[in-house]
A and B are shown apart, each in its own frame.
Chain A
Amino acid sequence: MAKKAFITGITGQDGSYLAELLLCKGYEVHGIVRRASTFHTTRLDHIKFGADDKKERLFLYYGDMTDSSNLNRVLEKVQPDEIYNLAAQSHVQISFEVPEYSAEVDGIGVLRLLDAIRETKLKTRFYQASSSELFGKVAEKIQSERTPFYPRSPYAAAKLFGYWIVVNYREAYNLFACNGILFNHESPRRGENFVTRKVTSGIAQIMAGKTDHISMGNMDAQRDWGFAPEYVEVMWKMLQAEGPADYVVGTGCKHSVKEFIESAFAYVGLDWHKHVRQDARFLRPTEVDELRADPSKVARELGWKPNVGFEELVMIMVDADMRALGLKPVGKGDKFLKEAFPSRWWGID
């Protein structure tokens, strides 16, 4: 019988890739979608309207992380073997505007799900999308599973609550529950209000003559950036392991926002100085300066190693955004993808 997975946040970047990965592995995939006036499942459309049998194994329900009885009901009905909790108000800066909502979804939401598991007596494995933002004002230059946390935003504080709840439930109830402390992971499916995508979609807009500049906040922040499809593979791996554990997942390299901008503009042959403006409105009240993962545990225990480096990521994203606007991509990103992932499981972006 097909294994069943339940994904919250299935319409997001990670959720849509993970759904594809699991469908390729033969899973039945169930996910919840928030009710909104427009049906925002664009990232899943290529599955829903695809030609193969995957669409028969994809099931979407209305649901919300703030609604316990809804979560109970859906879990009771689906009886999943694996649960991936990817739903979040995932934008750090916006969390300063909506701190209570961020905590309801990113923090208490985890608790509602875990409690629903306990209440419905499900035998299931649980993945929690934790975040490198937990490290915040970093206590160590390179962050591992042993680095103390220091959250600096309402988003990070709420995610930290979720992290500890997962640890509590694992220890108190022997639940197979894992925290994936994922460092930044990007893709052409990243939301346009995230810095990387803002840059690459901005470049495509500039190339298409729709605008002549982009406005950026803090460009000195340094992040460890990876490629999202590789990160959802590790989520799945965590739940196939012998026992539950927490893992730091990242590339081990860091680059500044400015470097991302430089590389992306250089890739299309533009001088970034002419097209980038600094705008104080995009500065956060408190900023996390430097994040860089020590991924040695995940490499050792789960055999995970990323193939996509910083330069490749930039090219993949710029190519996709140019294509989306009907421009001819530069093509190096597309070529790299074809070579690095000959049996690629995710749909074209």
Chain B
Amino acid sequence: MMKRVLITGIGGQDGAYLSQLLLEKGYEVFGLDMDINAQTCWRLHYLDIYDKVNLIRADMADSKALLDAVKKSSPDEIYNLAAHSSPGSSFRLPVECGEITGLGFIRLLEAAREASPQAKIFQASTRDLFGAGDGSAYNEDRPYKPSNPYAAAKLYAHWMARIYRNSYGMFICNGIMFNHESPLRGIEFVTRKISDAVARISLGKESRLALGNIDAKIDWGYAPEYMQAAWQMLQQDAPDDYVIATGQVHSVKEFTRRAFQVAGLTWSDYIESDAGLLRPSDVVIQKGDFAKARARLSWKPQVEFNRLVEIMVEEDLRRWKRHLSGERFPWDVNEK
């Protein structure tokens, strides 16, 4: 019988790739998002799956809507990807972030406990739980030190996943995902901001790129592979928590240099630093140790750093060229 899945945050980068993956595996896909019109779900159009998924408009603040969605989809698997996913903005809208990122998950858990207690649940946890890294590789056993309201809300959800697993025997996994990027990354994230800027500079639409802390070293992976890992977690015999990462770190500076190089440009000609882009308590160096995922899930990342940057820059170049030649299609960048 066809498996059924419910994905929250289906309009986001991860939601789109996960939908694509599960459609390929023959799942019937139900997805939630706050807004499900064609523009906000541009990623589903990009992957050409907008018409293949069942979209449900629901807010993670609305317990009743979540319960209805669980009843309607009657899922075998639930992936909670909905979040206010930008740590920087979580200092500006902390209550809203806590409501969606933290409490949204408990509302979903309660809905699942009531209507689909057998459903296997994936919670998108994050490396932000660990706070500023010390350069060493972080595995599942490291203590948590969230340094912004987003991370604190994610940590709340992370613990609730474990508490429900232990208290009620529910099948719930935390995927402690390190940064994962792609051409579907939101434009507010630094990698995409760079790849988009490089494309525009390369096509003469822009001349400068302002960046905050370019020395931050980050463990960057390729998003579709991370969704593969999420799916694998739910196919195991028992639920557990897993770090998903590449184990390699690169600085924002390296990302920038490589991105300009892909477009045949020299990065230092275009950069200015902007102190306003620094977050109040910023995460500095952090590397993931995915040994457990490798051992238990046989998962390992395939797309390495240079290739990741290339994929992103090439896609943004392609989009801008299409756009400038007059073609119109849904995406998240508007010409200024």
Contacts and interface: CB of A to CB of B under 8 A. Distances in A.
Contact of A157 (B98, B146, B160, B281): B160
A157 B166 contact: no
A269 interface: no
Interface stretch (B102-110, B226-234, B293-301): B102-110
Q: Which of A99, A165, A168, A173 has the most CB of B within 10 A?
A: A168
- Name the prevailing secondary structure of the B interface residues: helix
A259 interface: no
Indicate the size class of the contact surface on chain A. 20 to 34
Given A100-B63, A161-B156, 7 more contacts: A68-B95, A96-B167, A107-B103, A115-B95, A164-B152, A171-B280, A172-B281
B281 A171 contact: yes
Contacts of A165: 94, 149, 152
Nearest to A104: B103
A70 B65 CA distance: 27
Contacts of A114: 94
A160 B106 contact: no
Contacts of A148: 143-144
A168 B148 contact: yes
Minimum-distance CB pairs A-B, first 8: A285-B167, A172-B280, A164-B152, A161-B156, A157-B159, A148-B143, A286-B167, A108-B98
22 contacts: A99-B109, A99-B160, A100-B106, A103-B106, A107-B102, A114-B94, A115-B94, A148-B144, A151-B159, A154-B106, A157-B160, A160-B159, A161-B98, A168-B146, A168-B147, A168-B152, A171-B281, A172-B280, A173-B280, A285-B167, A285-B168, A286-B163
Given A152-B166, A160-B159, A108 B106 contact: no
B91 interface: yes
- Name the prevailing secondary structure of the A interface residues: helix
B104 to A, nearest CB: 10
Contacts of B160: 99, 154, 157
Interface in A138-170: 148-149, 151-154, 156-158, 160-161, 164-165, 168
Contacts, number: 86
Contacts of A154: 106, 160, 163
Interface of A: 68, 96, 99-100, 103-104, 107-108, 111-112, 114-115, 148-149, 151-154, 156-158, 160-161, 164-165, 168, 171-173, 285-286
B128 to A, nearest CB: 11
Contacts of A173: 280
A211 B281 CA distance: 57
A238 B320 CA distance: 57
